Chain A
């Protein structure tokens, strides 16, 4: 199942990048995609972690739109701070508790923190992430844990 979806994605990627739909190139693409799938199977990287398709529907429908909204909002806040004549920053380091059970979930959470302007995950441990925030407000809103809850809900598919 995962192997099939890996093959389909690789083949679609080939089609997008090549843009020529002649018989020879299509065959070559199929063979290449098949070859990569076989190698990946031997290397044992096509598992729930390397290719988490079971999370895809939830990610696309619920988590990514919310994350994009968060990114837009905090990008506006950071721009305002940069353009403010007195540069009102209050850099803060905080430890944020994580409630995810899987490594994929923790990685998603840490990456989401970094993607949102104004917060960067510096160190990731078993059940907490050390976060550097540009302002104390940013640190506080992260400590509220809405993002953490959303990632946890998203990983438990």
Chain B
């Protein structure tokens, strides 16, 4: 029984860590602020949830589990608020997101994004 729990919790913790690493990689690869925020949201939603879930399996039915759940709840309410505040503040200060459809310039949709990529 404990072996099964251990195995499950390790799978969850490793999956969460991998997701956090993918998020970090995305943070480096994305071309502008708004697309980077999408990569960051991987980390603080599913990444954090998987890690916390893995740790609750390690802790079992103890006070630590209750505390971990409270942390998870806190993250689920605060992280979208913070992300929204960041996006709104960026736009209010005049940061325009890079868009795929630049119909005004008449360029092919994905060209602009890829061009930006090659510059890096």
> What is A's interface to B at a CB cutoff of 8 Å?
13, 16-17, 19, 68, 71-72, 75, 78-79, 81-83, 86-93, 110-112, 114-124, 132, 134, 136
Contact = CB atoms under 8 A, between A and B. Distances in A.
B6 interface: no
A15 to B, nearest CB: 9
Given A75-B19, A136-B100, A114 B38 contact: no
Contact of A117 (B34, B38, B110): B38
Contacts, number: 114
Given A86-B114, A90-B101, A92-B101, 10 more contacts: A16-B70, A78-B26, A78-B38, A78-B39, A78-B42, A82-B30, A89-B113, A117-B38, A118-B41, A124-B84
Nearest to B110: A90
Interface in B39-59: 39, 41-42, 45-46, 49
A78 B42 CA distance: 8
B104 interface: no
Contacts of B107: none
User: What's the dominant secondary structure at chain B's contact region?
Assistant: helix
Contacts of A19: 63
B100 A90 contact: yes
Contacts of A118: 38, 41
Given A91-B98, A132-B97, A123 B91 contact: yes
B100 A72 contact: no
Given A16-B70, A120-B34, A82 B100 contact: no
Interface in B49-86: 49, 63, 66-67, 70, 76-77, 79-81, 83-84
